[in-house]
Amino acid sequence: GAVVSQHPSWVICKSGTSVKIECRSLDFQATTMFWYRQFPKQSLMLMATSNEGSKATYEQGVEKDKFLINHASLTLSTLTVTSAHPEDSSFYICSARDPLVDTQYFGPGTRLTVL
């Protein structure tokens, strides 16, 4: 199947710093990418929809100024957690939609720990 990568796979940072997570579709062009967060033993919660060349669409309750999303190319979207706090610690997962097969492929996730 199609491959989506995320980098880094895990990151530990101090409170107040910003962290950037990259999501890449490796063998297809994704006009749309999605960012989710997942707390332990819970399901995935959609944070935002990222469209190439336009502003991201955020879900209700997600602060767009805190979670900055950039989708500069058809194969790369980035999520920047600004001024991270311990409550931002979570597992962040991206997905990329392959329009040719109408399927979302998920990255391996990034575990963020804010001290």
Q: Is 42 in the site for another protein (CB under 8 A)?
A: yes
Q: Work out the angle at residue 96's Cα, subtended by the Cα atoms of residues 93 and 99, and round it to the nearest 5 degrees.
A: 160
* 67 lies in the binding site for another protein (CB under 8 A): no
User: Is residue 103 close enough to count as binding another protein by CB under 8 A?
Assistant: yes
Query: Is residue 77 a contact residue for another protein (CB under 8 A)?
Result: no
Stretch that binds another protein, among 11-19, 68-76, 78-86, 104-112 (CB under 8 A): 104-112
Q: How many CB atoms lie within 10 A of CB 86?
A: 9
Based on the shown chain and the rule CB under 8 A, indicate whether residue 24 belongs to the binding site for another protein: no
| Residue from 47, 81, 93, 114 in contact with another protein (CB under 8 A) | 93
Q: Which distant-in-sequence residues (6+ apart) come within 8 Å of 30 by Cβ? A: 52, 74, 75, 77, 96, 97, 98, 99
